[in-house]
Amino acid sequence: MRTLSKLFVLAASVAISTSLAYADTLGVGQISIDGFGVSYTPATSTSPGMVSFTGGTAGNGYGSLAGFDGGAVNFGSTGTVTLDIATENLANPMELLTITEGTSVLTYYLDAITMASNSGGDISLNTAGYFTDSGPTGDTNGSFDFTTQGTTGEATSYSGTGDIAPEPSSLLLFGTGLLGAAGIARRKFAARFV
């Protein structure tokens, strides 16, 4: 009876960790984008600073994002997105950009934005959010960091790098595997001294 209950607990643990592992399968990766048509409006006493992005091209991807190299980048649902860079945390996630490669679409949703630096109209923005793709995967935490290049008050081009963070479910699966291996090692070690 005791062996049967141990087998049941082991089977339940494997089933739960396996189902969690498939919740978000984008994996770890990075992708860069470049484009023109970015404008920056500095903050004033009556208005927060604003930055607007239009389309670009994706490249230099590796890991789970390598399949989106060379795809077209579209910002927002209309092709242009304007960000209020004085707002650090958004109340609702905002679709920042999509990258289309063949029939696959990668989308990045923005949760938070901060200005890392502002030097003569060249700004660096750090954003946090999550990635989704058109396949049967869930949301995968990640970030996009942007740098604009131009003159004071108006930027002319931008570059960005997006990173996908390690998945919590993969870490859970790895952790349960380590626990299982530790249990087996403990049992074998204890059996040697009995």
The answer on pLDDT for 112 being more than 80 is yes
Considering the domain boundaries, does residue 161 fall inside one? yes
The answer on pLDDT for 6 being more than 80 is no
CA distances (Å), 37 to each of 42, 55, 104, 121, in order? 16, 8, 25, 14
Q: In which domain, by residue range, is 98 found?
A: 25-166
Mean pLDDT of 22-29: 64
Considering the domain boundaries, does residue 96 fall inside one? yes
Contact 144, 127 (CB under 8 A): yes
pTM over 0.95: no
Q: What is the dihedral of CA 171, 96, 155, 119, to 10 degrees?
A: -40
Residue 152 confidence (pLDDT): 53
Residue type at position 33: I
Specify the number of domains making up the chain: 1
Considering the domain boundaries, does residue 17 fall inside one? no
| pLDDT tens per residue, range 128-179 | 999 988 876 668 889 999 998 876 556 678 999 999 876 555 555 556 666 6
Considering the domain boundaries, does residue 113 fall inside one? yes
Residue 77 confidence (pLDDT): 82
Mean pLDDT of 25-33: 84
Considering the domain boundaries, does residue 50 fall inside one? yes
